[in-house]
Amino acid sequence: MATKAFSTPVSESRKLDRRGFLLRAIGGLSLGFFLPEAGHFFDLEAADPPNLDLANAYIKISPDNTIKLMFGGCEMGQGTKTGLAQIMAEELFVDWNQILVEQSLVDAIVSYGTGGSSGVSRRYDRLRKAGAAARELLILAAMDKTGDTNRDNYTAQSAMVNYIGPVAVTPKSWSYGTLSTGVVGKSVPVDLRLTNPANFRLIGKKMPRVDIPSKVDGSAKYGIDTWSADMVYAVIKHCPTFGGVLAATPATPSGAIAVVPCRAADSRGNTIAGNYNAVAVVASNTWTAKNLANSLSVKWTLPATTTNVDTAGILATAQSLMASGAGKLVADPVPPAGYDTITYAPVIEAQVATQMGTPTLDRTYTVPYVPHATMEVLNCAVKMQFDTLGNPTSGEIWASNQNATSVANYAAAASGLPASAFKVNTTYLGGGLGRKIEQDYISQAVQVALKVKKPVKLTWTREEDFTQDQYRPFAHINLKATYDLGNVKAWYCRTVTPSITAQRRPMAATAIDSQAVECLKALPYKLGTSVVEWIPLPSGIPIGYWRSVGASMNVFAVESFIDELAKVSGNQDPFQFRYNLLNDLPDDRARKVLQAVDQLSSWRLSLPAGHAWGLAMSEAFGTWVAEVAEISVNATTGAITVHRVACAVDCGMAINPDSVEAQMQGGIVHGLNATLWSQTTFTAGKANQKNFNTNRMLRLSEMPQISVVVVQSSTTAPTGTGEPGVPPVAPAIANAHARLTGKRQYSLPFFPGSTMGGL
């Protein structure tokens, strides 16, 4: 397919009509529309803005029949742009080799975020309607050619409108390019005639990724590739202790252009007045800036609470809260009148306790803080414009980011200008994983550009990236269940974990952080009388969104516990136990992925000596995933080798099955790293792991064989695929390890002290 991914962006922000479409026909057809914001960020239910006054995606058809599909979100390697283009091209009735896919530069205030596994899933309906709207407008233009207004006398195919009616006209077919100038003054038809899914040509098919050619030939541009002849380069150096602030600005060392104090920025884009927690060293190139920053002596003022930010102390606090802390009731039953969730929790807990008979299984699981460690470190390039008095008037930003709106807000807070004063160029991302929705690095780059009054590219070193992350939260989870043979009579869960939401904005005393309890509530199993409670953990460690976030923490506990229940209640087969325990749901998606992975992992029934298998399943971001892992354990070192992973996924309408498979493979590798090695520990307010040498990752030679089957879904819309492959990995490996060794792992990672030898 011909592509021009991320070529020179084109600004296309204009007013939209009442149907949410913008139509222009200057030199061809240009149809703009609004794609909704990503879900799952900031713990809010996403919705369209109240006034659809700007567009963030476009269809552009030129008289020469060039067809461009343009999107304002980001591509971070997950294949989003390809999936979006498939949906739109399907309803536009064009062939895959007839389109160009480009990054669209849109007004930053309506850029849509990419995250929460929503890159494609939340935009399915809107994109189908947009493609159909453009197609129907072109058919209206064809009606002008014939004078026949009977819509049934026209067909569209391969970027052509064909006339099949009785009027004698020549020709009877017109290219979209020929018709593109004839849409002036026309309104989008009410009847968009969406395609019957049974007749899809592109949706559901394996299509080549539109971003791959430029990544292969080296022309793809990431944020860190941004360059201009007059640019200077900055490297950031933070206070190594969380909460520390700059005591005094150090002198500019020889070879540096400047040393710029940088105010901290919170996760809502506000630059905190007076709170300088870093300095940026500016030089003529990044290498020089990095070396100068490393050797720069900086005095910091540290908070009195520094000693409290300690891994051992955090665990002790969590254990104390688990034993006696007031929990917030997460799920049904709804508190009766006169009670809030906090005061009612002990009441319902007591009721469940009466159901807790003998035998009762009681287990506690712990997962650590985990870094993002994206391959492309945080970076941002900024060019500010100034008036004759030296006051800033506007700016342009180039950055690997997951939400250009957030970028503009951070820039506005740092500069005092409105967000609308900034043009944001979203480049390719060398990984996002939720870290690049947190744009503190944007604020820093703007602050440096304001000070030196030159174009600046600011880069974080890998050490800064590891030690100043916004980590996946720590969690301490207790599960209890009373059972008999194959049945659960009562279920009780208490989780102690910090709140991502509370670190970003005030929360009501009774509010629940959805990430803290994701995959602990609304489980697919028949659990009898059940209660789930959340106890917020005070923490001075910055936390944020991570690939599958709460699900990656909580599924480890739940699915490990389910396996233990299978064993203690009659040593039942883990498949059969889950199968029998599943709720009878109308769509039966959970049962179908379990059946599919059962068939896909038939090899587990004839494993060689010294090998074992483990099973886990979960639902996250609307998608069901079941995985079976085959492992062996080195008798001398205890090291685990993961040989094979079978994965069954029901993601609703699989737009591009090839991308779905790739996302499951990537998620499994991501989960393996976190399961076996990855964590960040803290001593006296400082992160201990500073680079990949102490944050072990899977080597190419250790890659397991991964088989993926996409299950035909009863859900017709797509659901998320970027994250759901991660959560089942840890419990599947833990269950296999327990099956093989007889020893159960209750905390992650398995090998916390592992290093990458030779690094």
Report residue 3's pLDDT band, with 50, 70 and 90 as the boundaries: very low
Q: Which of 681, 677, 703, 683 is nearest to 755 (CA)?
A: 677
569-611 tens-digit pLDDT = 989 999 999 999 999 887 899 999 999 999 999 999 999 999 9
Cα–Cα distances in angstroms (integers) from residue 144 to residues 139, 179, 186, 414, in the given order = 9, 10, 11, 53
Structure tokens at 135: 């197609």
363-390 tens-digit pLDDT = 999 999 999 999 999 999 999 999 999 9
d(CA 136, CA 140): 6
Tell me if 209 sits within 8 A of 199, measured CB to CB.
no
DSSP for residue 113: P
Q: What is the pLDDT of residue 724?
A: 96
Q: What is the pLDDT of residue 106?
A: 58
d(CA 714, CA 700): 37
Beta bridge partners of 629: 614, 645
Q: What is the pLDDT of residue 578?
A: 97
Q: Which residue has the higher pLDDT, 44 or 28?
A: 28
Q: What is the pLDDT of residue 50?
A: 30
In the chain, what are the domain boundaries? Answer: 21-217, 223-304+378-459, 313-369+471-741
Average pLDDT of the chain is 90
673-685 tens-digit pLDDT = 999 999 999 999 9
Does the pLDDT of residue 697 top 60, yes or no? yes
Q: What is the largest CA-CA distance in the chain?
A: 88
- List, in order, residues 6 or more apart from 122 with CB less than 8 Å away: 35, 36, 38, 39, 46
Does the pLDDT of residue 7 top 50, yes or no? no
d(CA 276, CA 271): 10
394-424 tens-digit pLDDT = 999 999 999 888 899 999 999 999 999 999 9
Tell me if 433 sits within 8 A of 374, measured CB to CB.
yes
Q: What is the pLDDT of residue 58?
A: 83
214-230 tens-digit pLDDT = 999 999 999 999 999 99
Beta bridge partners of 341: none
Structure tokens at 283: 């030089």
CATH of 223-304+378-459, one of 3.90.1180.10, 2.60.40.1180, 3.20.20.210, 3.30.365.10: 3.30.365.10
Q: What is the pLDDT of residue 348?
A: 84
* CATH code for residues 21-217: 3.30.365.10
* CATH code for residues 313-369+471-741: 3.30.365.10
Structure tokens at 451: 């000070």
Tell me the mean pLDDT in the region 705-715: 94
Report residue 268's pLDDT band, with 50, 70 and 90 as the boundaries: low
Does the pLDDT of residue 449 top 80, yes or no? yes
Structure tokens at 280: 């940026």
Does the pLDDT of residue 515 top 90, yes or no? yes
68-111 tens-digit pLDDT = 998 888 888 889 999 999 999 999 999 999 999 988 765 655 66
Q: What is the pLDDT of residue 436?
A: 94
32-51 tens-digit pLDDT = 777 765 543 322 222 333 33
Give the predicted TM-score (pTM) of the model: 0.92
223-304+378-459: same fold as 21-217?
yes
Q: Which of 80, 123, 42, 47 is nearest to 549 (CA)?
A: 42
